[in-house]
Amino acid sequence: MNRVIGTFWLTVGCVLSLLLLPAEIQGQVTTEQQDSLDYQRLLNAANEPHNWLTYNGSYMSQRYSLLDQINVDNINDLELKWVLQNQVFGAWQSNPLIVDGIMYVTERPNTVMAVDVATGRVFWKYEHSNDARARVCCGANNRGVAVLGDKVFMGTLDAHLIALDRINGQLLWRAEVGDVSRAYSVTMAPLAIKDKILVGVGGGEFGIRGYVTAYEAETGKVAWKTYTIPGPGEPGHDTWQGDDWKVGGAPVWITGSFDAEQNLTFWGVGNPGPDWNNAQRPGDNLYSDSVIALDVDSGELKWHFQFTPNDPYDFDAVQVPVLADIEWRGTPTRAMLWANRNGYFYVLDRTTGECLLGKPFVPVNWSNGLDENCRPMITPQPEGQPTYPGNQGGTNWYPPSFSPRTGLFYFSAWEDYATIYRSEEAEYEPGRAFLGGGYTVLAPSPGAPTIGIGRTSPINNWTNEVGHASLKALDPNTGEAVWEFEQFDVSDSGMLTTASDLLFTGGREGYFHVLDATSGELLYYKNLGGQIVMAPVTFMLDDVQYVTIISGNSLFTFALRNSN
Amino acid sequence: MQQLPRKVSGKNPAKFLLLMAALLVSLKGMAQELGDHQYTSAAIQRGLRIYSRECALCHGPTGDLVSGIDLARGQFRNAASDDDLRSAIIEGRAQGQMPAFALQEEELNGVIAYIRAGFDPEGVAVRIGDAEQGQVLFNGKGECASCHRINGQGPRLAPDLSAIGIQRTPAVLQLNLLNPAAAILPINRPLRVVTRDEEIIIGRRLNEDTYTVQLIDSDERLRSLQKSELLSYEISDQPSKSATTLDANEVADLVAYLLTLKGEA
């Protein structure tokens, strides 16, 4: 951090805010604003759309913005304003936060940058050095930070939570979230609620026992810790046999949601372990592949709903719990909308966890439907035969969007994608992979290239015959798609909707797509050249609406031509 | 969005399942069905027993104990064809360091089958013939050279085969000759495109995304087309070649030749 530059910008910010800008849209951070980034602002984040204050834009996690400057009529005036180049290779899954003119974005493995949103120039950069023992299954990913008060918070691959000074990037505290020698890790963006920072652990492929932990934001002390696998004497423990629960996985690697009126925070829980040998862990294996509702003050479990009991497919339920207050089939409902990796779309009553609707959104052959409680009726495929959807799921962790204006739920689905599973006995060794088998992706000819985790080639030589994306706009009342937008490759891109009924998204091919959220009509696309593996975000500065999207190793920020 | 006018075969899961089932049959069951081209499952199983009894002491259980040799991966000091292996076993090699083995013909075939199956008792063992004969067939009777290019010679429309010996396994090379529709890589499928000004383009796909396709056309020009600008866009699930009419020995020779192509022009 360069202290001189920091002071200079603070001064500029004060002057600008006094002379030029409306009170609610600030160019740079003042000390007052820094102190005022309190819980009330996070609670009302959706109502200050010039910022993007939490991972999913609000505690409801709708990724819906009230901004409407960019609209159907002027979308072709969109132009590139600036680019920030990443300094490291690999999938850039980070979700930027925007706080009063400053963007906080991470790059892998664990670097935080504070960026000027008008120019893309960097104020400060903090690099965390990970313990060499850090292990993750699927890349040195980090999906972003949380902000609260004068601090910014990041989880690390070596299973720590760190707090930095939001103005100068200095380390304030560092807390151990999990045992790195047993392959605990943090890849998700933490979530700030009230005076606490909530974070979960990854490691579902390494025989961890998952949990969500809440830390005091001020000190880094643990406020509560709730395991995602119940211990002896706790309800649900009998869904495991012997000592299986100790190494049963159930990680939490995607940021949850919060319903302030109920004081409940909701988290998606990942796969049981070993991943592919469910005969080795008989029982439902609670709370793997479930959503759990926790009291935010105590961490006490209030309800759960399990999507895939005794899962042999690695169908993590680590999707974003999208909360929506809707008229569901004529009844005002506090709903939770969930397109699951297992291929089913669910509507839950988020006050009780009751399942109101469950319907497949892609062809599913591992089950032939859900019973009246939405428990799957399983139809395991014979050995050597393909299972639909495949290992990476009908959808996965990338964030969906719900637009209160259209009433539709938007997400990336994978079509025509299947996997052949193989299971074997796995022996647990601390810190080592604990998989219980493996899988191959179904391809149209022997030895043909297939889809991997992420895209590393500019040539799609696996083609849509191995799998391709379909962006779906579902009506929560029916679970049916109102419209779909197909892509040639699969997509790990999240969604953003706005009050001008635009839908912004991307895909592995590197296209930035803008569609009409009501009709699905394609309005604009641009080849940005690298895989888009996170959702775009939008914000406003000096009366200009910006959209930021990360493609490949670059972060692109767009706005309208002559918009200022 | 209006979906683009195109016909794509093999898109629905049911069709994939059938294709996959066909492949599993063609690969796993081929040992019985294609006895002329491949060693039988019984021969491979027999080979496992003979190998364990006679060979494993020196070559090791996975076939890689002797320096410079990895039997399961098809790496030998001098041998290339099955007949070369046969001679080595019967005559011995390396000044007696490898003794001569007096095996029955059936036992001998079994050991070679087991080696060619990559030490997988459930695997597929492809017969490998004479590479020189294979080269003659490639350029003549097999009619391969009329479409494929090797080391700078031949047309470019079909995939270049200069390094095919390290890109594809013997089993897949053989499948490509016997049943090309089951072996073609999806990216290589032939295209037929009609542009808005009614130009008909025949070519081989090189790359494709949601909005565009890149191809090499029949005049060997690299073309990049916007799909929305096309009147029609068809992808054939049939390769441009049909199954070979070469006999089993000739196929074994041709596979042997293809395996020598390692991109070392």
- The pLDDT tens digits for A349-358 are 999 999 999 9
Query: Which chain A residue has the Cα nearest residue B182?
Result: A445
Chain B residues near residue A419 by CB distance under 8 angstroms: none
Q: What is the pLDDT along chain A (564 residues), one digit of tens a residue?
A: 333 333 334 443 433 343 344 334 444 556 666 668 999 999 999 999 999 999 999 999 999 999 999 999 999 999 999 999 998 888 999 999 999 999 999 999 999 999 999 999 999 999 999 999 999 988 899 999 999 999 999 999 999 999 999 999 999 999 999 999 999 999 999 999 999 999 999 999 999 999 999 999 999 999 999 999 999 999 999 999 999 999 999 999 999 999 999 999 999 999 999 999 999 999 999 999 999 999 999 999 999 999 999 999 999 999 999 999 999 999 999 999 999 999 999 999 999 999 999 999 999 999 999 999 999 999 999 998 999 999 999 999 999 999 999 999 999 999 999 999 989 899 999 999 999 998 889 999 988 999 988 888 999 999 999 999 999 999 999 999 999 999 999 999 999 999 999 999 999 999 999 999 999 999 999 999 999 999 999 999 999 999 999 999 999 999 999 865
Chain A residues near residue B17 by CB distance under 8 angstroms: 385-386
| Min Cα–Cα distance to chain B from A297, Å | 46
Q: Which residues of A492-505 are buried (b: 16+ CB within 10 A; e: fewer)?
A: bbbbbbbbbbbbbb
CB within 8 A of B176, min separation 6: which ones? B168, B183, B184
| Partner A contacted by B175 (CB < 8 A) | yes
Which residue in the list A244, A284, A289, A314 is annotated as catalytic? A314
| Min Cα–Cα distance to chain A from B216, Å | 14
Query: Which chain B residue has the Cα nearest residue A449?
Result: B185
B 87-116: CB under 8 A from A: none
Residue B12 to residue A416, Cβ atoms within 8 A: yes
Query: Which chain B residue has the Cα nearest residue A526?
Result: B211
Alpha-carbon dihedral sign for residues A362, A273, A281, A348: negative
* C-alpha span between A467 and A456 (Å, rounded): 16
Q: What is the pLDDT along chain B (265 residues), one digit of tens a residue?
A: 333 334 433 334 343 333 333 343 334 333 333 456 778 888 888 888 888 888 887 888 778 888 888 888 778 888 888 989 999 999 988 887 888 898 988 899 999 988 888 887 777 788 899 999 999 999 999 999 999 999 999 999 999 999 998 888 888 999 999 999 999 999 999 999 999 999 999 999 999 999 999 999 999 999 999 999 999 999 988 888 889 999 999 999 999 999 999 887 5
Residue among A444, A446, A509 whose CB faces B27 most closely: A446
Mutation target for A interface from B16, B174, B189: give the one with most A CBs within 10 A.
B16
| Partner A contacted by B14 (CB < 8 A) | no
Mutation target for A interface from B17, B166, B210, B214: give the one with most A CBs within 10 A.
B210
pLDDT at A32: 65
* C-alpha span between A290 and A518 (Å, rounded): 31
Q: Which residues of B188-225 are buried (b: 16+ CB within 10 A; e: fewer)?
A: bbbbebebeeeeebebbbbbbbbbbbbbbbeeeeebeb
Q: Which residue has the tokens 């975000």?
A: A537
| Min Cα–Cα distance to chain B from A518, Å | 11
| Residue A314: active-site member | yes
pLDDT at A28: 53
Residue B242 CB neighbours (<10 A): 10
Contact A311, A271 (CB under 8 A): yes
Query: Which chain A residue has the Cα nearest residue B175?
Result: A446
| Min Cα–Cα distance to chain B from A480, Å | 17
The DSSP H or E segment spanning B193 is strand B190-195
Query: Which chain B residue has the Cα nearest residue A469?
Result: B210
Pairing of strands A437-441, A468-475: unpaired
| Partner A contacted by B196 (CB < 8 A) | no
Q: Is A471 helix (H, G, I), strand (E, B) or coil?
A: strand
* C-alpha span between A301 and A305 (Å, rounded): 11
Chain A residues near residue B23 by CB distance under 8 angstroms: 445-446
Residue among A448, A459, A522 whose CB faces B186 most closely: A448
B 18-77: CB under 8 A from A: 19-20, 23-24, 27
Chain A residues near residue B187 by CB distance under 8 angstroms: 449, 459-463
- Model ipTM value: 0.90
Q: Is A539 helix (H, G, I), strand (E, B) or coil?
A: strand
Contact A348, A356 (CB under 8 A): yes
**Alpha-helical segments (H) within A86-243:** none
| Partner A contacted by B258 (CB < 8 A) | no
Nearest CA to A250 out of A206, A215, A298, A297 is that of A206
Residue among A461, A520, A521 whose CB faces B187 most closely: A461
Contact B216, B157 (CB under 8 A): yes
| Partner A contacted by B146 (CB < 8 A) | no
* C-alpha span between A350 and A337 (Å, rounded): 9
Please compute Rg for chain A using Cα positions: 22
Query: Which chain B residue has the Cα nearest residue A519?
Result: B1
Mutation target for B interface from A445, A457, A508: give the one with most B CBs within 10 A.
A445
| Min Cα–Cα distance to chain B from A410, Å | 15
| Min Cα–Cα distance to chain A from B19, Å | 7
Residue among A384, A466, A485 whose CB faces B24 most closely: A384
**Domains of chain A, first to last:** 1-36 (no CATH), 37-560 (2.140.10.10)
Residues on chain A bordering chain B, Cβ-to-Cβ distance under 8 angstroms: 363, 365, 384-386, 388, 416, 418, 442-449, 458-466, 485-489, 507, 509, 511, 515, 520-522, 525
Q: Is A496 helix (H, G, I), strand (E, B) or coil?
A: strand
| Partner A contacted by B11 (CB < 8 A) | yes
B 154-173: CB under 8 A from A: 168-169, 171-172
Nearest CA to A368 out of A343, A392, A347 is that of A343
| Min Cα–Cα distance to chain B from A532, Å | 14
Residue A486 to residue B175, Cβ atoms within 8 A: no
| Min Cα–Cα distance to chain A from B10, Å | 7
Chain B residues near residue A388 by CB distance under 8 angstroms: 13
Q: Is B201 helix (H, G, I), strand (E, B) or coil?
A: strand
Chain A residues near residue B20 by CB distance under 8 angstroms: 385-386, 442
**Domains of chain B, first to last:** 39-116 (1.10.760.10), 128-184+242-259 (1.10.760.10), 190-235 (2.30.30)
The DSSP H or E segment spanning A549 is strand A544-551
Residue A242's alpha-carbon distances to A249, A251, A277, A285, B149, in angstroms, are 15, 20, 16, 12, 62
CA angle A134, A136, A137 (to 5 degrees): 155
Chain B residues near residue A446 by CB distance under 8 angstroms: 23, 27, 169, 171-172, 175, 182-183
CB pairs under 8 A between A and B: 91
Strand order in the sheet with A211-216: A191-193, A196-200, A211-216, A222-227
| Partner A contacted by B208 (CB < 8 A) | yes
Residue A447 to residue B187, Cβ atoms within 8 A: no
Burial class (CB in 10 A: 0-12, 13-18, 19+), A260: middle
| Min Cα–Cα distance to chain B from A527, Å | 10
Query: Which chain B residue has the Cα nearest residue A363?
Result: B13
Residue A449 to residue B16, Cβ atoms within 8 A: no
